[in-house]
Amino acid sequence: MSRRTWAGLGIAAAAAALIIIMQVPHSADTHTRKQASEPVIPNPKQEHLSKQSLMAQDIASTDHLTRLDAKQHLTSMLTKLAQAGPAQVSDYVRKLQQSHDHFTMIIWQDAKKGKRQEYTITKSNWNAADRKILKGYLDQAEKNIGKQRSYESTSFKMSGKEYFVIAEPSKQTPKQGVIALMNQRILTEVANHQKKNLRLIPYPKEGKYKVESVHADTLRDITVRTGHDNEKASHFYENEIVVRFRQDPSRQDLNRIISELRAESSRKLGYAYVFHASGMDYSQLKSYFMKNWNPQYVEPHYLYMTNDKVKESTSSLPNVPNDLLFAKYQWNLPAIETNQGWDLSRGSNDVIVGIVDTGVDIDHPDLQGQLLTGYNVINPDSDPLDDVGHGTHVSGIIGALVNNNEGVAGISWYNKMLPVKALDKSGSGTTYSVAEGIIWAADNGAKVINMSLGNYADSQFLHDAVKYAYDRDVVLVAASGNDNTERPGYPAAYSEVLAVAATDSNMKRASYSNYGDYIDVAAPGTSIASTYPGNQYAALSGTSMASPHVAAMAALIRSRNPDLTNKQVMDIMRSSTVDLGPKGRDKYYGYGQIDIYKALQAAGTTEAPLQFWPQHVQKKMDSVIQKNK
């Protein structure tokens, strides 16, 4: 059907229902989870406070990501420019500042040669008091470089903008080092982003469509008002043990265990805990836990290693990528067995993931080579550039480059992404824009489509677009929403779409996550580290972050077994979960939290899984009959 025809239908529908991004943050709940109990649903006041806390958590995490990324760039610069002349240093710095304009000032210092070169990206309007503050931090940085020490300041303000100073000494050339003044505007951007998406402020009339929100039944305008670090270890973990308790230990219990074992570390992976105590071997550790804690089971720490032959690793997880932020910040990937799943599938160029969202930062270094030429529904003559940040973040969760020594690792290594900008600069769009985005993605090769967006209005027009894609064998995945409500959101609630709720690092329901009988699965959604415009990284929370985990898993499944239909892929994802909350399917977690390794095992390699064998045979027979006609 032509675009003109779709436009006519959109106008005739007379329901340009606002599609609002539905993200969700969620903090780690330290209370013990009881398998048989239902999650506690917060009241409006508790929900508001929880969202405020989660937003603060996202801002703090983004601050840490920014500092770690800056440190990496300075260290890399020192390594590459150790023997470089002034012209080479100047050329390198200018290129870095052009692509990373948050490096407001870079100072190259070589005390041995008596040289100090300052590079400032723009002329500043700092007053005398500002410059005095800055000089104090720069002096401290220079002193630390002289002592061959790294330096990092606290955040401070100049002319109303937030900055920090970071410095790194050269490990190769004494008295040489580099200092950077970093602009932290990303913290304000993340705060503003989350205020909107978590409904902490009324939705602003700043987008192309000039609509705040609509009543789900009448479609009349209304205003919305708030509504694991991995321990280094060899392939054989002689001093470690895996323990699953009958009931999760409290913080006091964990402190007691760590003290009694003199354990160097403890960490939780899924339902189980891993303890490392160099003063005890496995048999001693087993004896301790069996005697004192009556666990459900204990095992040596090979539980998370695959049966295939693997190289000796410096981590307790298989397939640990070297991406800078993975070990400290990407708790979400091990939580859904992504690392083990990579032994079965890392994706395929033949399976394309459409991302109907706010567009993408096509120049982000961690997305290079992963993006296909997409489409801008809002302005068809322009590239689908991201002016919000949301689509770039979603894209990084799905397919950020893996093992490139930079930033984050995506869930898929090889699946290409097709960015479709259907939401404008306010993060909203009409029924028509989203419908067109879905149809365009389906017509241009997408086998999986992620929709981290939603609305409470049941639009037949949008549903028709969903059916159009589904009938073309596309797996559709959507976020459930961030309003802590049982009311169905669309497109997530359509039967052709896999609806995703959000969990936190303790595998508990995110307090903001929508729920209901339409929920299919849950996935990590709290403080998820990913790519962000301006060649940066941010931590965001929301069901918008949970949904791309599921879309990426669908792409891995389709890459492993291309013979599976979209319905079969969706059935595998539902049946291979980790059951959470009340036993069996429930309205908070659906069938449970996704498990990539289990799903890929179920998907098989060249033939359909046994439970789909009759349909698979019928499909092949139909294909043969069709060819012989």
Half-sphere CA count of 235, side-chain side, radius 13 A: 9
The Cα 84–Cα 425 span in angstroms is 43
Question: What does the pLDDT read at residue 343?
Answer: 92
Among the residue ranges 33-47, 350-364, 481-495, 573-587, the one predicted with the least confidence is: 33-47
pLDDT for the residue 209:
34
What is the three-class DSSP state of 120? strand
Q: What percent of the chain has pLDDT over 90?
A: 52
Contact 272, 249 (CB under 8 A): no
pLDDT band at 623 (very low <50, low <70, confident <90, very high): low
Q: How far apart are the first and last CA of the chain?
A: 27
Of 6-10, 113-117, 273-277, give the lowest mean pLDDT range. 6-10
Pairing assessment for the beta strands 475-479 and 497-503 based on DSSP bridges: parallel
| Pick from 252, 230, 247: nearest CA to 330 | 230
pLDDT bin (cut points 50, 70, 90) of residue 514 is very high
Name residue 548's amino acid.
P
Confidence of residue 272 (pLDDT cuts 50, 70, 90): low
| Residue 312 confidence (pLDDT) | 34
- Transcribe 9-30 into DSSP letters: HHHHHT----EE------PPP-
pLDDT at 35: 45
Q: pLDDT tens for residues 128-177?
A: 999 999 999 999 999 999 889 999 999 999 998 999 999 999 988 877 89
Evaluate whether 489 touches 456 at the Cβ level (below 8 Å). Answer: yes
List active site positions: 357, 390, 544
pLDDT band at 626 (very low <50, low <70, confident <90, very high): low
**Omega before residue 491 within 30° of 0, cis:** yes
In DSSP terms, which residues pair with 106 in a beta bridge? 119, 180
At residue 62 the predicted structure's pLDDT band, cuts being 50, 70 and 90, is: very high
Tell me the two tokens of residue 221: 């305008």
Residue with the larger pLDDT of the pair 616 and 196 = 196
Structure tokens at 22: 């539905």
pLDDT at 202: 55
- Over residues 33-59, mean pLDDT: 74
Burial of 157 (0-12, 13-18, 19+ CB in 10 A): exposed
Reported as a pLDDT band with limits 50, 70 and 90, residue 300 is low
pLDDT of residue 102: 93
pLDDT higher than 90, residue 106:
yes
Mean pLDDT along residues 541-566: 96
Model pTM score: 0.73
Higher pLDDT, 306 or 355: 355
Q: Is the pLDDT of residue 305 over 80?
A: no
The pair of three-digit structure tokens given for residue 557, joined into one six-digit string: 């499944």
Residue at 448: amino acid letter = V
pLDDT of 31 over the 50 cut: no
Residue 587: CB atoms within 10 A of its CB come to 17
**Residue range 568-578: mean pLDDT, rounded:** 96
183 has a pLDDT exceeding 70? yes
Q: 27 with 54: CB under 8 angstroms?
A: yes
**Predicted local distance difference test score (pLDDT) of residue 217:** 44
The pLDDT mean for the chain works out to 81
Contact 529, 379 (CB under 8 A): no
* Cβ(394)–Cβ(429) below 8 Å: no
pLDDT at 13: 31
pLDDT tens, position by position, 404-435:
988 999 999 999 999 999 988 877 777 778 88
Whole-angstrom Cα distance, residue 83 to residue 86?
Answer: 10
pLDDT band for 220, please (50, 70, 90 cuts). Answer: very low
- The confidence band for 457, taking pLDDT boundaries of 50, 70 and 90, is confident
Residues 6+ apart with CB under 8 A from 189: 389, 532, 538
The amino acid at 537: Y
Least confident range from 213-217, 370-374, 481-485, 609-613: namely: 213-217
Q: Are 303 and 242 in contact (CB under 8 A)?
A: yes
Minimal CA–CA distance to 145: which of 162, 131, 119, 165? 165
- DSSP, residue by residue, 332-396: HHHHTTHHHHTTT----TTSEEEEEES-B-TT-GGGTTTB---EESS-TTS--B-SSSHHHHHHH
